[in-house]
Structure 1
């Protein structure tokens, strides 16, 4: 693992074994804000006119998507329950040296840094409005009785981690999304669009973050076939 400075000045990690960066080289923070916070979380809040939401993230990684989302939610009094799926959690000393304390409020960073290890064991109250759990498991082994409002799908690219993008994997994770819920990812391919349509989603080609022309956002349609 080595830190790399991206186009917007924020850091990401390069995973040599996989041959992929955890975030966009064009800008880690700006990609996270655009793809997940704005196109996923705030889109859902505005669509549903609500002040509470639950998020399931595939690929918790460095915690950047969580940090930006939690910081946004707490500053606005939005109740957030967040679960990240991560088969290979990063050691605490790496997470604490990402430099992301520069892009969120001190209270958000301090709560995350002090509670990261605990969140790997059980759901943890980080802030007055924010709860976090990190499921240390492979995607297909993840189970929950909860239906989530938003899915952040932030796995490594299909060329490096094809097993995460199979019909089986996508169907499994989408079974935890409630009807009306939102699925967002930085990628968009013909296979992904076809799979999401087959799973009962209305798909949208949304503008991508810098370095990508488009990304996929999909809304799960309400209907009896979509209930687990």
Structure 2
């Protein structure tokens, strides 16, 4: 049974006993997402409008932080996320991310999880979201995205997600010069990304993590 855990920065993550894995870093869920996906992904890309694809909606934290930044900016953001196992309503209500955001954070987080699946929904100013309830391994992916948040469970827990077969599916929906960011910096991940046509860069990680990957489709 999944359990909510408080990480080092006070924000929540979820622990999955079956995988012995957490949704986010125990060293700080929000600071990890801010460092990897927002500062080195969202803020790195200048495309307008910006189309984002997330592998693993999970708790919705990356979507929430992206929505908050989008609402404060000028460009339109269209965010698509695939998730095989959506969280139940009670778990969502217990997550404390609204404590770390401004007043609009609580309402935005609720709208992210309450919005209909399978269609693009306007969540807040400059931010629209499509949630896909599906399986990355078997579903056919469509679209063209400038930025990919590859935030699946780790390659040691779900190695089938990090293969060249799956990364090739991501390549097909990533625009030329599109960016992929992921918390993993494992050797197999780097090699598979390069084999699929990405230029891979290792960047300094958030607290508790030495490096993470930002890759550009060439």
Report the equivalent of 1:210: 207
Report the equivalent of 2:41: 40
Q: Does 1:171 align with 2:168?
A: yes
Contact 1:67–1:109 (Cα < 8 Å) also in 2:
no
Report the equivalent of 2:157: 160
Contact 2:64–2:108 (Cα < 8 Å) also in 1:
no
Report the equivalent of 1:127: 124
Q: Single out whichever of 105-114 and 73-82 deviates more from structure 2.
A: 105-114
- TM-aligned CA deviation for residue 115 of structure 1: 4.9
Match of 1:100 among 81, 97, 101: 97
Structure 1: 4+ residue segments shifted above 6 A: none
Report the equivalent of 1:80: 77
Which secondary structure does the structure 2 equivalent of 1:191 belong to?
A: helix
- TM-aligned CA deviation for residue 43 of structure 1: 0.8
Which secondary structure does the structure 2 equivalent of 1:74 belong to?
A: helix
The CA deviation string for residues 56-115 of structure 1, in whole angstroms up to 9 with x for no partner, is 000110000110011011111221100111010111221222111122333343133145
Contact 1:135–1:142 (Cα < 8 Å) also in 2:
no
Normalising by structure 2, we get a TM-score of 0.94
- TM-aligned CA deviation for residue 179 of structure 1: 0.5
- 2-structure distance, mates of 1:140, 1:18: 18
Contact 1:112–1:126 (Cα < 8 Å) also in 2:
no
Q: Does 1:55 align with 2:52?
A: yes
Q: Does 1:28 align with 2:25?
A: no
Q: 1:179 to 1:211 in 2, by over 3 A?
A: same
RMSD across aligned C-alpha pairs, in angstroms?
1.5
- 2-structure distance, mates of 1:119, 1:180: 31
The size of the alignment, in residue pairs, is: 217
- 1-structure distance, mates of 2:143, 2:120: 13
Report the equivalent of 1:225: none
- 2-structure distance, mates of 1:115, 1:98: 13
